[in-house]
Amino acid sequence: MVGMGTLYLVRHGQASLGAEDYDQLSDLGRRQCQALGRYWRERGQGFDAVLTGTLKRHQQSLAALSEGLQQADLPTAVQCPGLDEYDSEALIRAIHSGPLERPLTPEAARAHFRLLREGLAAWMAGRAAPEGMSGYAEFSAGVAAALRQVQGIAAEKARARVLLVSSGGPISTAIGQVLGTPPDATIELNLRIRNSAVSEFAISAKRMALQTFNSVAHLDDTALLSFA
């Protein structure tokens, strides 16, 4: 849109689903983010500001992206706790009392994401209170606060280019806030966002509008695609 800047919302690369510590990029996750950096470098993409969540996979994704981008003057990232992901295991345990199989097989992964969908719906509706987590209203408010930071950047610089590295939950919540989607649609957006995928908002000091969703144009090798 004429006169507006762009916010690039990037989901982290593939993490370590089923491992003791999910919050680590896999080798595939690093390669996905490096590919995005190279894709942007080849097109002369630059950024005026960078925001990330505080999780390890966010920081590792930005580091791998930076390797591919090779931009010496990439702005120092501002860490925003409001861009951190929910605890998927806590969400599932809030609605499922039985044993949880690690999602290491296709069948176990399908069961994991079915329960996660149910847990998200219960949390967003206020029917579940996952241990150690705030309510969805507070989670959503943290995302809204990060978007206000972005609008502040847009107010200070015309046509600002802002990079945001986070997770599927905050990104889908941000899209839901901009589009006004109901909870079930926000959950569907969340579970469709691919690793290292890019969504774009047109931004100004007063307005945000969705331009693209879930693009993986940088992953020309389909073997690099993943969701978890």
Q: What is the pLDDT of residues 112-147, one digit of tens each?
A: 999 999 999 999 999 999 999 999 999 999 999 999
Separation between Cα atoms, residue 29 and residue 24, nearest integer Å:
9
Looking at residue 219, its pLDDT comes to 96
Looking at residue 19, its pLDDT comes to 77
Looking at residue 105, its pLDDT comes to 87
Looking at residue 67, its pLDDT comes to 96
Looking at residue 196, its pLDDT comes to 98
- Residue 61 pLDDT grade (very low, low, confident, very high; cuts 50, 70, 90): very high
List Cβ neighbours of 40 (8 Å cut-off, separation of 6 or more).
68, 69, 218
- Residue 2 pLDDT grade (very low, low, confident, very high; cuts 50, 70, 90): low
Looking at residue 1, its pLDDT comes to 59
Separation between Cα atoms, residue 172 and residue 94, nearest integer Å:
21
Lowest mean pLDDT among 25-34, 84-93, 99-108, 109-118: 99-108
The domain 5-86+135-217: what is its CATH number?
3.40.50.1240
CATH 3.40.50.1240 residue spans of the chain: 5-86+135-217
Q: pTM for the complete prediction?
A: 0.95
- Residue 25 pLDDT grade (very low, low, confident, very high; cuts 50, 70, 90): very high
Average pLDDT over the chain, rounded to an integer = 95
Looking at residue 90, its pLDDT comes to 96
Contact 50, 207 (CB under 8 A): no
- Residue 109 pLDDT grade (very low, low, confident, very high; cuts 50, 70, 90): confident
List Cβ neighbours of 89 (8 Å cut-off, separation of 6 or more).
100
Q: What is the pLDDT of residues 181-219, one digit of tens each?
A: 999 999 999 999 999 999 999 999 999 999 999 999 999
Q: Is the pLDDT of residue 24 over 90?
A: yes
Of 208, 220, 101, residue with least CA distance to 155: 208
